[in-house]
Amino acid sequence: MRKIEMTRKTKETVIEIILDLDGNGIQSIDTGIGFLDHMLESFAFYSGIDLEIKCEGDLDVDDHHTVEDVGIMLGEAVLKAIGDRKGIRRFSSMTIPMDESLAMVSIDVSNRPGFVYNLQFENEKIGSMSTQNFKEFFKAFVNESRITLHINLLYGDNDHHKIEAVFKSFGMALKEAVMVVDDRVISTKGVL
């Protein structure tokens, strides 16, 4: 079973996470940032990952520490839950529309963090969340999970639709990439 429970405490945030890669997309998210909760709920649903996150952050300062630290914890939890990577599909790419927006997310569960982010926003915030912090969330996730992640918004007008298409694509791509399909490591090197 690929299930992890973790806690992280800093001067800026206290985060508890429970993650089950082989779940049913059941989620309970409370980061204190409504729009981030909405995106993480969408991610969990479309990835099929059971995900509980409880975060108390210094939102009186701003949302940066909370967003980045949640990305760190999600990345750490995914890394630990995947384990030795034996038998996982490894690669996946999903292109998902959300109304007028179209996002493509490609993943390689390679044990090598790599990050490409082609996404621009029209507004500084969506709800109470700073749009610039979406990049920080994904960068933190990539560094801790050691996954290569390419995010490309192909087109779109509405900022909400853009990032929701990204999170849905991210969830579906991760679901496929960590799926166990074999009994060997999918690499010509023999290790990941």
Has residue 7 got a pLDDT over 70? yes
Least confident of 26-30, 144-148, 169-173, 185-189: 185-189
111: tokens are 């044990």
Within 10 Å of residue 113's Cβ, how many Cβ atoms?
A: 16
Per-residue pLDDT reduced to its tens digit, 68-119: 999 999 999 999 999 989 899 999 999 999 999 999 999 999 999 999 999 9
Euclidean distance between CA atoms 46 and 170, whole angstroms: 8
Query: What CATH number should be reported for the domain whose range is 3-177?
Result: 3.30.230.40
Q: Which of 10-14, 31-35, 188-192 comes out lowest in average pLDDT?
A: 188-192
The pLDDT assigned to 183 comes to 83
Contacts 24+ apart (CB under 8 A), 37-42: 39/163, 39/164, 39/167, 40/70, 40/74, 40/167, 42/164, 42/167, 42/168, 42/171
pLDDT of residue 135: 98
Is the confidence at residue 188, as pLDDT, over 70? Answer: no
pLDDT of 182 reads: 86
Q: Once rounded to an integer, what is the mean pLDDT over residues 137-160?
A: 98
pLDDT, tens digit, 9 for 90 and up, residues 47-77: 999 999 999 999 999 999 999 999 999 999 9
Domain spans in the chain, listed from the N-terminal domain onward: 3-177
pLDDT value of position 184:
82
State the Cα–Cα distance between residues 143 and 111, nearest whole angstrom: 10
Q: Is 88 exposed, middle or buried (0-12, 13-18, 19+ CB in 10 A)?
A: buried
Q: What percent of the chain has pLDDT over 90?
A: 92
